[in-house]
Amino acid sequence: MVNAISITDLKKKYGSFEALKGINLDIPEGSFFGLLGPNGAGKTTTIGILTGLVNITSGSARIMGYDVVKEYKKSRAIVGISPQELNFDPFFTLDDLLTLQGGYYGMKPKEARAKAMELLKQFGLESKSKVKMRQLSGGMKRRVQIAKAMVHDPPILILDEPTAGVDIELRHLMWEYLAKINKEGKTILLTTHYIEEAENLCDHVAIIDQGRIITEGTPKALIRDVGESMICIRVNDWPEKMELPQWQYTVVDNQLHIQTSDPDTDIGHILSILAKENVAVLEVKLKKSNLEEVFIKLTGKRIDES
């Protein structure tokens, strides 16, 4: 099977500074893939290479099998990019901006305008079609930015921080929309500073730090393998001879702290063992790990820290 995006031993130097130190990534078709990393990790450089904005130093990148350098016309035609920086002419109306964008990809004006209107409707901006870009709020501009990436109906979308500066309500609406179009078949590569966003949306994430991919996998597997979840149970009386040989745990003052990589499954097992031994349970608390904890553990940084 051809991967939607395939990156092999990709290196990028800016002068003597090596921003990418040989990265490898395979993103299957239909995936919702998150590229997470602290500031300066190399995310935008990677995306820039995929979309022809940054030159490769060595290695290669392919989109649907097309080399992004040698077959750039084909590779660029099948990708829509929503860059981090908002980039439109403030004096264009929304429908003109999107129609013109379609023109860049060879769409006829009528076809492009119809697609522009369809997208504006999907993004809840239909009533603003004749409004100039500069009259929009920041959240509206973000939505137009994504719509602009989608006018030529590319099978692959690259979204660099798509919800930056967007309020929580709109962010959740955008998540719903992105999840929907991914379900309908679009492959999405997303970079984000909101780890919760990646955890919610992505079927696969890669963590990049200082120009290297330091781990990748499904959010669930990363949390299981790297995170530290805990089940805390307060019992009435812990029998002296009682043991839970399957788990690592401590008991202090009738308070059990059990380490687990799968709290949802283990909690049932543990409670049934306690019930069998007639240990009265007074309180149960789960401390579930998350992708943020994984990220901090692996990079030693919070994602918004440089």
* Interacting residues with ligand ATP (CB under 6 A): 14, 17, 19, 37, 39-45
In degrees, rounded to 5, the angle at the alpha carbon of residue 35 between the alpha carbons of residues 29 and 40 is 145
Structure letter (DSSP) for residue 34: E
Q: Which of 19/198 has CB closer to ligand ATP?
A: 19
> What is the closest distance, in whole angstroms, from the C-beta atom of residue 132 to ligand ATP in the complex?
28
d(CA 232, CA 149): 47
Q: Closest approach of Cβ 11 to ligand ATP, in Å?
A: 12
Please answer whether residues 215 and 207 qualify as being in contact, where contact means their C-beta atoms are separated by less than 8 angstroms. yes
Q: Residue 176 burial by CB count (10 A; 0-12/13-18/19+): exposed, middle or buried?
A: exposed
Residue 248 or 306: the one with the smaller Cβ distance to ligand ATP is 306
Residues 143, 162: contact at Cβ < 8 Å? no
209 or 266, CB closer to ligand ATP? 209
Q: What element of type H or E holds 179? A: helix 168-183
Q: Output the six-digit token pair for 138.
A: 């920041």
Nearer to ligand ATP, 42 or 162 (CB): 42
Alpha-carbon distance 19 to 291, whole Å? 24
Least distance (Å) from ligand ATP to the CB of residue 277? 51
Residue 205 CA to residue 299 CA, distance in Å, equals: 14
Report the first-to-last Cα separation within the chain, whole angstroms.
38
> What's the closest the beta carbon of residue 188 comes to ligand ATP, in angstroms?
17
Between the alpha carbon of residue 124 and those of residues 102, 139, 148, the distances in Å are 20, 11, 14
- For ligand ATP, the closer CB: 37 or 80: 37
In the bound state with ligand ATP, the residue whose beta carbon lies nearer, of 83 and 102, is 83
Nearest Cα neighbor of 42 from 234, 211, 218, 228 is: 211
Q: Whole-number minimum distance, CB 300 to ligand ATP, in Å?
A: 16
Q: Which is nearer to ligand ATP, 54 or 114 (CB)?
A: 54
Q: Which is nearer to ligand ATP, 229 or 299 (CB)?
A: 299
236 vs 282: CA distance, rounded Å: 6
Task: Report the nearest approach of ligand ATP to the CB of residue 145 (Å).
Answer: 16
Angle subtended at Cα 82 by Cα 295 and Cα 201, rounded to the nearest 5 degrees: 40
Q: At closest approach, how far in Å is the CB of 81 from ligand ATP?
A: 14
Task: Output the smallest distance, CB 204 to ligand ATP, in A.
Answer: 18
